[in-house]
Structure 1
Amino acid sequence: MSHSYTALKPITKEEPDDDDEAIELQIRTHDLENNNKELRLDVEANRSSSRHPHHARSSSTSSFIHFKAPIQPDTSRESIEVSSTHHIYNENNENNSICASTEIKGGLRLASQALPSLLMSVVGLVVAGWMMDIFQHWEVFVEISELFILVPVLLNLKGNLEMNLAARFSTSANLGDLDDPNTRNSLVWGNLSLIQVQALIAGSIAGLFSFILGIIEHPDEPATVSDSILIITSSMISATVSSLVLGVFMCLLIILSRKLKIDPDNIACPMASSLGDVVTLGILAGCAQALSNSGGSTLSLGLFVVMTFSIPFFAKSVWKNKHVKELLLSGWSPIIFAMLISSFAGLVLERYVEQYRGLAMLTPILCGLAGNLGSIYASRISTCLHAGTQEQYTLVEWTLLAMNIPVQILFLVLTWILDLGHLDFTFSFAVTYFIVAMLSTLIALKMGKYMTLTFWKRGYDPDNYVLPYLTAIIDVICASLLVISFAFLSSNNLADLATTQSASS
């Protein structure tokens, strides 16, 4: 766009006639109208770019003349340029204010939606930790120590299945796929069938893998076929039943969130993780104790055969569903590898659970909260990548990290008041745990960001790959940091966390 300044030529000393003055006034009026029109269009375009960063122009393509102020009939050329510069400054300030206001509103919206779900997840994780603190004294856990290895492996496995479902469904909701009833019903049934296939197969592998690890860890202790069948069957039952219950719940939650205009990325993953831990852990302990009380392996073997033959039925249903068909074969590698990674957390728990009081209770809580926050971040980034929008990385990271502060403080207060885990709750313990929790969350956020971007760049869907690896690695990191902090506090007499058995030895 170019402008003509013909109308601004210095007037000579000769007196112009009336026709020249009329022509000059028409030219100036025409330029004024054109500049006003162009200014309105460019201001609107600039505001639109502020709202949609991925549509913004680069600085190299912007032109100074695009934001020129209207030409006034009685001003000189120099005054026009000064006025234009001032107008550009005001417009940039206005756009910066709009961007800052949008970022603040986005952070508040994220906190208002995610914080309640995180607080609810704290309740679920506290209940899971309390249940684990009780179950470790049950007869079946005392006699079959491999169950301690199975717990974090199975909880991570189940959490991955539910969170993958939540991430896929959240992306579908944000893209509008759930607005059509036929598509929504097909997605619900297909994903529920898929999660049953994954739960049954991965549950059996998790049980067998935990049993083998137990033999390797304790080669002197006798291992029986009856124990192996009990562990595998208990793992499969808890995996398939909890998958059905939680899968239906997550689908309903995300559909309801879509109707209420709430971003499911902010609430689905924490709810899936915390509720999954409680339901899965309760079913696992109850099933293992019931099968142990039955006094034989016949019932365990019969249930194992029934569940194994049900796998082809669900697999056939998945294969006929175009929305999830490809996941029947391609979605296994992250689940299996994540299970192998999380087994190291199980080995840490199994080795040190009898040495430190409260370790069994704190481990699922610390792992769960850090994994939940990392999963929220990864799920949001994945949705932005699918939608072609830009995530506000710094804002979201600091918001999620700040949200962890009141959540951890609330948990510490509940631990102190309710005497959870029978801990020696000293000031040193509270500070050390808080530092470990914040460090774990920071690691989870950074890993969630870079893993999501890396998988996307390599052509893999982050909804199916990131969360299993992320939560598995975070489980190992959190369990290791927790054991190190317990050892530090005990060795320096800052808190009495060692059990009587370990202290005497």
Structure 2
Amino acid sequence: MAPLITTRHDDYIELSNTINEDDEPPDIRLQQNQQEQHQLQLYPMRHKHSNSLHRDSMEALLEEANQLTPAEDTITKLTIVKTSPKHLVFQSLPSLIVSLIGLIVAGVLMDEYQHWDVFLRTPELFILLPILLNLKGNLEMILASRFSTSANMGDLDYGPVRRSLVIGNLALLQVQALIAGAVAGLASFALGLMTRPDSTSSYHECVYMTSSSMVSASFSSAILGVFMCALILICRRFNVNPDNIACPLASATGDIVTLILLAGCAVVLQGQMDSLLSTFVFLVMLTSVPLFGLIVWKNKHAKDLLFVGWTPIVCAMVISSLAGVVLEQYVEKYKGVALLTPVLIGVAGNLGSIYASRISTSLHQDTYENYASVEWVLFLMNFPVQCVFLLIIWGFDMGQLDYNFWFFLTYILVSLICTFICLKIGKWMTLGFWKMGYDPDNYVIPYLTAMIDVFGTVLLVTTFSLLTSSGANDMTSPGNAQIANIG
């Protein structure tokens, strides 16, 4: 008996249990091809390059639409997407608040872990934390952006394609996470040798660092990958744009889960550091890379992604290390830098990633994004989120900060500048990569988050220096103030 399949032409819905991955939604694909051919006949130059469809505003488009015939106007309206600021705020603001709470919790966990015996005995773990969190965060946000595009394109509405995309992307995420974990572990061990040349580091410590990093990266990617796929499918089911919520939630939950798993792996493996347990775990993790790679290679929807996007991930790690150098130089000099910096750059990065993800989706769909409206809504959305953060740290007296008018004013100003820079860079990079023939979903977010790490850290440190030198607010830490008085 043939499986039951129900179709709806405006939004393809599949009720079949068939698992033949070679199947495609025939009605929708045929409709799309016919519509593209019709548009190509009417506007032969408009389809010469997809990016030519996108403009900074819709004024020119609407003026052109007024001059079209009724038949042409019907087709053109199919490519116009009007963004409701109210829907954008209602969908994005809760996810940004959740990501804010996640950033604060991650900061509290990092502050707690620094007193654990396992971190005191292996200081390289502190070097590993920012490197691993940066690499892992980029992987999950790339998955969220790419999967959101697939959802908005309708690729997830058809059962066989949906299953193939989920399996292929989860296997790809495992390959990326294991390789990223190995790179992060080896890099942190090497940096530890450079910063502490007198230390007695050994082979066992190197394998211990690498295996802890790979295990935590793999398991957190499995948890977060399933969570993100389920979240985006739910968004699609209830007609919510996943571009507005997926990236912030991926960023927030990723840091917390990875931190907890890394601490747990470090505690378990450190007791057996001198044994072959860490080596065995490392070999198991290493042999699983080609296994997951084979799954991706046999998946026609994910095969092309296996060797794509590695350059921005590695370059982002290098760029973020510059922010780490600046942060390390000033984290003990000024109060609150360690508390404020992750939230400052995290919120700006999340807003920029929402914007980049939306633009990428519109480019893939050949639709118009009202850039001016979306930019202003996302830019202004930064203000209530940062106000909530300031209320939280003021209410719980966190960071040993002097909460006066000048502190609040300068922090809000810096956060708005960071958000403005991040939105502009996100727009330019997304359009730029699209023009060069690269999928922005796989390239933009790593560079974007890494660059805002540097800009945000430098701006915050500069602001604290100006506040202190002008006498508006003494931001120097108590320890440095005492040293200055003694001198």
Q: TM-score range by the shorter chain?
A: 0.7 to 0.9
- Pick from 167, 176, 185: which aligns with 1:198? 176
- With over 3 angstroms needed to count, the CA separation of the structure-2 counterparts of 1:480 and 1:383, relative to structure 1, is same
The alignment status of 1:167 with 2:145, answered yes or no, reads yes
Conserved in 1, the CA contact under 8 Å of 2:247 and 2:350? yes
Aligned to 1:379: 357
1:502 Cα deviation from its structure 2 partner:
7.4
Aligned to 2:409: 431
Conserved in 2, the CA contact under 8 Å of 1:186 and 1:321? yes
Aligned to 1:240: 218
Deviation per residue, 1:422-461 (Å, 9 max, x gap): 4343333222222221111111101100000000000000
The alignment status of 1:471 with 2:471, answered yes or no, reads no
1:18-57, aligned counterparts within 5 Å?
Answer: 56=61
Partners of 2:281 and 2:400 lie apart in 1 by: 38
- With over 3 angstroms needed to count, the CA separation of the structure-2 counterparts of 1:403 and 1:61, relative to structure 1, is closer
- With over 3 angstroms needed to count, the CA separation of the structure-2 counterparts of 1:151 and 1:497, relative to structure 1, is farther
The alignment status of 1:184 with 2:162, answered yes or no, reads yes
1:257-296, aligned counterparts within 5 Å?
Answer: 257-294=235-272, 296=274
Aligned to 2:367: 389
Partners of 1:469 and 1:306 lie apart in 2 by: 31
- With over 3 angstroms needed to count, the CA separation of the structure-2 counterparts of 1:147 and 1:344, relative to structure 1, is farther
Normalised by the length of structure 2, the TM-score is 0.79
1:496 Cα deviation from its structure 2 partner:
4.3
Conserved in 2, the CA contact under 8 Å of 1:363 and 1:478? yes
Deviation per residue, 1:192-250 (Å, 9 max, x gap): 00000000001111121222233334445554433332322222122111101110000
Conserved in 1, the CA contact under 8 Å of 2:465 and 2:475? no
The alignment status of 1:500 with 2:479, answered yes or no, reads yes
- With over 3 angstroms needed to count, the CA separation of the structure-2 counterparts of 1:447 and 1:503, relative to structure 1, is farther
Letter in 2 for 1:202: A
- With over 3 angstroms needed to count, the CA separation of the structure-2 counterparts of 1:356 and 1:304, relative to structure 1, is farther
- With over 3 angstroms needed to count, the CA separation of the structure-2 counterparts of 1:228 and 1:361, relative to structure 1, is farther
SS at match of 1:441: helix
- Pick from 232, 249, 263: which aligns with 1:254? 232
1:53 Cα deviation from its structure 2 partner:
5.8
Conserved in 1, the CA contact under 8 Å of 2:118 and 2:267? yes
1:56 Cα deviation from its structure 2 partner:
4.8
Greater shift, 122-131 or 254-263, is seen at 122-131
Greater shift, 442-451 or 233-242, is seen at 233-242
Conserved in 2, the CA contact under 8 Å of 1:423 and 1:497? no
More helix by share: 1
Deviation per residue, 1:64-83 (Å, 9 max, x gap): xx99xxxxxxxxxxxxxxxx
- With over 3 angstroms needed to count, the CA separation of the structure-2 counterparts of 1:145 and 1:429, relative to structure 1, is farther
Normalised by the length of structure 1, the TM-score is 0.77
1:392 Cα deviation from its structure 2 partner:
0.8
Aligned to 1:10: none
- With over 3 angstroms needed to count, the CA separation of the structure-2 counterparts of 1:208 and 1:433, relative to structure 1, is same
Greater shift, 258-267 or 348-357, is seen at 348-357
Conserved in 2, the CA contact under 8 Å of 1:133 and 1:360? no
1:497 Cα deviation from its structure 2 partner:
4.2
1:6-155, aligned counterparts within 5 Å?
Answer: 56=61, 62=67, 106-155=84-133
Letter in 1 for 2:439: D
Aligned to 2:393: 415
Letter in 1 for 2:438: Y
Conserved in 2, the CA contact under 8 Å of 1:334 and 1:465? yes
SS at match of 2:303: coil
Partners of 1:504 and 1:133 lie apart in 2 by: 24
Aligned to 2:319: 341
- With over 3 angstroms needed to count, the CA separation of the structure-2 counterparts of 1:230 and 1:367, relative to structure 1, is farther
Let me know the Cα RMSD of the aligned residues: 2.7
Deviation per residue, 1:116-163 (Å, 9 max, x gap): 111111111111111122223333434443333322221121111111
Conserved in 2, the CA contact under 8 Å of 1:148 and 1:350? no
Conserved in 2, the CA contact under 8 Å of 1:148 and 1:346? no
- With over 3 angstroms needed to count, the CA separation of the structure-2 counterparts of 1:425 and 1:230, relative to structure 1, is farther
Conserved in 1, the CA contact under 8 Å of 2:204 and 2:273? no
Letter in 2 for 1:465: Y
1:284 Cα deviation from its structure 2 partner:
2.0
Aligned to 1:21: none
Partners of 2:255 and 2:305 lie apart in 1 by: 24
Aligned to 1:209: 187
Conserved in 2, the CA contact under 8 Å of 1:128 and 1:364? no
Q: How many percent identity over aligned positions? A: 54
- With over 3 angstroms needed to count, the CA separation of the structure-2 counterparts of 1:422 and 1:293, relative to structure 1, is farther
Partners of 1:211 and 1:443 lie apart in 2 by: 34
Partners of 1:387 and 1:485 lie apart in 2 by: 42
Partners of 1:486 and 1:139 lie apart in 2 by: 33
Partners of 1:60 and 1:263 lie apart in 2 by: 26
The alignment status of 1:362 with 2:340, answered yes or no, reads yes
Greater shift, 137-146 or 403-412, is seen at 137-146
1:378 Cα deviation from its structure 2 partner:
0.2
Conserved in 2, the CA contact under 8 Å of 1:367 and 1:478? yes
Conserved in 1, the CA contact under 8 Å of 2:136 and 2:180? no
Partners of 1:183 and 1:421 lie apart in 2 by: 49
Partners of 2:335 and 2:120 lie apart in 1 by: 16
Deviation per residue, 1:23-46 (Å, 9 max, x gap): xxxxxxxxxxxxxxxxxxxxxxxx
Conserved in 1, the CA contact under 8 Å of 2:355 and 2:375? yes
- With over 3 angstroms needed to count, the CA separation of the structure-2 counterparts of 1:491 and 1:136, relative to structure 1, is farther
Aligned to 1:450: 428
Conserved in 1, the CA contact under 8 Å of 2:58 and 2:370? no
1:55 Cα deviation from its structure 2 partner:
11
The alignment status of 1:227 with 2:209, answered yes or no, reads no
Aligned to 1:483: 461
- With over 3 angstroms needed to count, the CA separation of the structure-2 counterparts of 1:134 and 1:363, relative to structure 1, is farther
Unaligned runs of 5+ in 2: 1-56, 71-76
SS at match of 1:419: coil
Conserved in 2, the CA contact under 8 Å of 1:129 and 1:365? no
1:491 Cα deviation from its structure 2 partner:
4.7
Partners of 1:502 and 1:314 lie apart in 2 by: 54
1:472 Cα deviation from its structure 2 partner:
1.4
- With over 3 angstroms needed to count, the CA separation of the structure-2 counterparts of 1:283 and 1:382, relative to structure 1, is same
1:297 Cα deviation from its structure 2 partner:
5.4
- Computing the radius of gyration from Cα coordinates, the structure with the larger value is 1
